[in-house]
Each structure stands twice: as C-alpha cells, then as structure tokens.
A and B are shown apart, each in its own frame.
Chain A
Amino acid sequence: MAKILIVDDEPGYREPLCTVLAHEGHDVRAAASSTEGVAMVADFQPDLAIVDWMLRDQHDGVDVVLTLRAMTAHLRFILISGYPTASLDARLRNVPSCQFLAKPFTLTELTAAIQAALKGAPPEG
C-alpha cells in the first residue's frame, strides 16, 4: 500500500491512528513533533504525511506542510485538526495535494481521504 508518516503530538490520537493504518496494510511511522517528523522524512521517504495542524512545537501546520514539501516534492498531505475549518480552508487552497480532515473522523472517512490524496496528481516540484 502506501508509506504514511503521522505527525501528531497527542499519543491518544497518534497510537490508534497508527494501529488502524497498519491494519489497513500501510507502512506507518509516527512522529510526536514537527522536528521529529522532519527528521524522519529523508530516511522514510513517505508517500503521504498526516499532520496535526497545531503541534506543540509548531503552531501552524501549514508551515510544517511547506517544510516537508520542500524536502520531498512528491509528498502528499492530510492536515487534521480539531479546530473549526473555516480559517484553514482559505490557506489550504494555495497548498496543492493537501486534504483536510476535521477531527473527529471515522476510519471510513480517513480511508476515503487517503485514497483521494494518493490518487491526486503529484504536486509539481
């Protein structure tokens, strides 16, 4: 299936996310901070990153997305957040290959978002 990097500093969220995605057959690695996530990208070379919008060490998930994209051109993203989406939507319009998923979401919704993200045209470098 796909190589998926999860960046979320909430263990209560990160762990079940890893479990279900692994169960779905994906190759999953998890990072508890944006720094850790950035460090994993070069070695892991993921197809998709699922990033929490507000991390303890980085309060703007869009910045994390831009940093990771600069490192790996083909990388696609799903930003997840418990925040209301309105303010985020406008900013994401300028970020190609980026899905947004509002917490809480079911496994079905997550699977659909992953499929949509992976099917989308790879971003231009």
Chain B
Amino acid sequence: MDSRCENPSDVRTCASAGRAGSTEAEDRLGLLLRATRDAVYDWNFRQSLAWCNESFAELIGQPGPAPYSWWLGSLHPEDRPAVVDSYQAALKRGTGGWTAEYRIRRTDGTYLCVLDRAYLLCDAPGQPVRRIGAMTDVSARRGMEDALRASEERFRLTFENGPLGMALISPEGRLLRANHCFCNMLGYAEEELPGTSLGEIAHPDDLRADADLARQMIAGELPGYTVDKRFLRKGGHVVWARLTATTLRDRHGKIMYIVGILEDITERKQVEEALRRTERLAAIGTLAAGLAHEINNPLGAIVLSADVAMLALDDAGQQEVISASLNNIQKAALRCGRIVKSILQFARDEVSNKWPCDLADVARHARDLTRKPAGEAGVAVRLEIRDAMPPLVMNPTEMEQVLVNLIANAIQASSPGSEVLVRLESWQDFVRIVVQDWGRGMSASEVSHIFDPFFTTRHGDGGMGLGLSITYGIVQQHGGTIEVRSQPGQGSIAEIIFPIAEGPSQGTGQHGQDPDR
C-alpha cells in the first residue's frame, strides 16, 4: 500500500489528482480539510493509495501520507488486540461506519489518544476497498478522565478505609452509604445501614440534640456543625460520638448529600466521667464539712431553745419564753430544710445544654426577676447594654441564675435609695458582665472566701452561702471567669468575662448533649 501522492500536504493537488478541473465544491472541501483540527485519512486498498490532510501530518509528527501499514504498526500494544478485533468485526459487517478510541504512536515515540471515526467501503463482507476517516486527538480529555478517575478512587479509598466513620445522608435524613468504620462503630454490616433513618440509630434522648442545627444547615444558614451525641449500637449499647455534618450541594445550591463524619468518643467520655467522679468525691469532703457546720448551727439552736423552753416550764408565767423558744426552734428547723434544698441544687452536676443566645435578653429577664426584692429594699437596678452583643453559647436558665444571684447579692448589700448597675460590654473576642453596687462592701478576708460553699455575709436573713458557689460553677462551665472586688463601705464589683465561642461566628454550632431540664 504505497502512497502515490507525492505531496500530501498539498490538498488541492492531491484532492484533484484523479480528476480534471476544480469546482467550487472541491475548493470548499479542500479548505475545510485544511481548516479542521481532525486528522483526515483516505486509504484506498484496491489502488494502494494513501492520502492524509495536513492535520494528520502534524498529529503523527511526520510529513507525507501515512499508509494503512503505519496505522496497524503504530497502535499501542495494549490497545491493539481490542482495536483490531473491533475493526475486523466491522469489516465482516460490510460497508458502514466504525468508531474506536485508542492510543497511537507518533514518530517521536510518544503516544496520542485518538477517537477514530471511519467509513468502510467493502466489496463483500470482510473485503475492504477503501477506508476514509478522521482521528480526533482526545489525549487532553482522556488525561482529565484519568485524573478524575484517580481522584474518585482516592476519595473512595479514603471514604471506605478512613479511620473516621463517614456516611452520605439524604437531605431527608436517610443513610445512603456508610463506610466500614461507620458500620463497625454501630455494629451493623455494611449492607444493613443504607435506607436506615438517622433517627433509628440515634439515642432517643439525643434525638433533638442537633435538630435545630441540622435545620439551619439545610436552610443554608450554617455551612455545617459539630455535636457530641449518643448513638445506639445494633445490640442497644450506647456509643458516644462527635458528629460533624456538612452538605454537598450542586451548582444551583441544591443539597445533593449531607456528609456525616462520626468519631467514637466513648472512651474519652468515660475518662471524663471518671475524672468528674473523682473530683466530685474530693469536693464532697469539703462540702461535708461545710454542710455539717451549716446544719449544726440551727440544730444547736434547736437543742438550746428546747432546753430554754423546758426550764421555763418549771416556772409559772413563762409563756412568752416558751413561745419565743418554740418560734426559734421552728425557724431553725426551716433553715435546715432550706439548706438541704440548696445543697441538692449545688450538688446537681449534669452538663447542661448550651446554644447561642442573646445575653441582653437574659440580663433583662434577670432584672425583671429581681424587681420584687429590689422594690422591697428600695434599690433601683439599672441595666446598661453598651455594645451590640454577639450571640453567646450558653444555657440561658443557668446564665439567668448567675445574674439573679449577683443582682440579689448586690441588692442585699445596698442601702435604700441606692442603685445596682448591671453593665454588658463586648470587646474583641470577649463579653464582659459587670454587676456593681455602692453598698456596705466586704473586707479582704470576706472577699477571699466569697466563692466557698456555705460562706455567707447574710446570716440573719436566710443567705445559705451557696449562691456564689453555684454562680462560680456555672461561669466555669461556660468557659468564663468571675472576679469580685470590694472594700468595706465602698461597695462591690462582680466582673464576669466570657470568651465568645468560635462556633457560631464561623457558622458551626457546638451543642451540649443533655436534654433540657
């Protein structure tokens, strides 16, 4: 199959070689063959003619028409068997089209990937006369496909074999796919989980733990969130996990999947719980001493008052003494009851649920709650909100208790006609709460014991000495600090500083786990 076309790059010459004269149509065809980026070839087997356009020469890297034998010899060895088989099959079908994608060697030894679309002319099935076709260089596209395939493979491997539990979840909350680690963590076989709703594997008490965050994420208000919650293993055992959820959206912003990443934190939770228990035991020792003191005082009063009453029984006309003693006994017994109530509240040690709230709202509510004692004491409580308050991750009930405790203490220390100031400020990454009074103040010795359980400066009026201990605990639980400054006769200032959690400002909420009480 030798070429007889001397100058294959001269389309005009070649195209018109076997014919006399040129027509408008031939001109157009010639220009088109020159213009196309496709490598066009024409192999005439009967006449042993080969013709190629300029793009063909550029594609394979050598001038001159490439014969059929070149094509057969330049197929990539790995692709050759399949290409030859499919070509032979096409020939057997007789005249008609044939398409194949394969790698072919250029003269410099490198390979190109081409999409070859040909038309075969046959005398009879298996008897080709002519093959005309065009090869398109698809190397770039093939490269991208390979890269995509490799990337998908990497993702698949990461997904399937990663050390974290991963799952693709439908926007309705059904598991579509879960990896090995995810299934392992929950004790299911991989084929068991698809179709299961998240509600079926979550601990019933934690079902609502992230409902709001999930809703916000689906609505596009949050890019994702992280929450610690409990799940149930297949056998019913509880697994603590840190769930990080995020969404995969299409170019129109519609959610395709929710991606859930699950990290088993059961062991960490157990260690934390054990540590808490140890600390609690240590605290119980201190607390027991305080409690003994606090209870023994009214008990002593009861015993002595009973003694007084009994002595008075022996004397005539001692009704008043007896009555005063009984009254004293009753007051002391009621005080014991209040101590027991406070100690129960103090001993409560659950980790409370926290979410972003408006501190200003909480402060307003706390002021409203202290209106009655303020009114009775003739003290005005002024709330001053200096800056726009960023949302603060908190338990609003506990935060309100903190403010009520501080305001109530300030009111107690103030004289009628004076003022208690509650000021909220925000600066940099912190929020500051200041509760200030201009009342009787405290000595340095009193200030140093202010957060001790059962310490009180309000013996006569029912102060239990636990309010500030509880306040201190709540502030610590919220990652904040509290400081009290005071001088006798100069009033007191309680200052609380909370760092603004990174979570909500960056769109990722951190949730506690225990249900609301």
Which positions in A face B, CB cutoff 8 Å?
9-13, 15-17, 19-20, 23, 54, 56-59, 80-84, 102-107, 110
Contact = CB atoms under 8 A, between A and B. Distances in A.
Interface string B322-342: 000100100110010000000
Given A57-B443, A59-B449, A17 B294 contact: no
A116 to B, nearest CB: 19
A74 to B, nearest CB: 27
B300 interface: yes
B335 A12 contact: yes
Contacts of B289: 83-84
Contact of B300 (A13, A19, A56, A58): A13
B325 A16 contact: yes
B282 interface: no
B457 A56 contact: yes
A58 B308 CA distance: 29
Contacts of B164: none
B304 A82 contact: no
Nearest to B457: A56
Contacts, number: 83
Contacts of B321: 19
Contacts of A80: 300
A114 to B, nearest CB: 14
Instruction: Name the prevailing secondary structure of the B interface residues.
Output: helix
Interface string B441-482: 001011001000000010110000000000000000000000
B303 A82 contact: no
A106 B459 contact: no
Cβ-closest 6 pairs across A and B: A82-B296, A103-B300, A104-B300, A82-B293, A107-B307, A16-B304
A10 B328 contact: no
Could you say which of B308, B335, B460 has the most chain A C-beta atoms within 10 Å of its C-beta? Answer: B308
B299 interface: yes
A12 B321 CA distance: 14
Given A19-B321, A54-B293, A83-B292, A12 B328 contact: yes
23 contacts: A9-B459, A11-B459, A12-B297, A12-B298, A13-B297, A13-B301, A15-B328, A16-B305, A16-B308, A16-B325, A19-B308, A23-B308, A57-B446, A81-B296, A82-B295, A82-B296, A82-B300, A83-B289, A84-B289, A84-B292, A103-B296, A104-B304, A110-B304
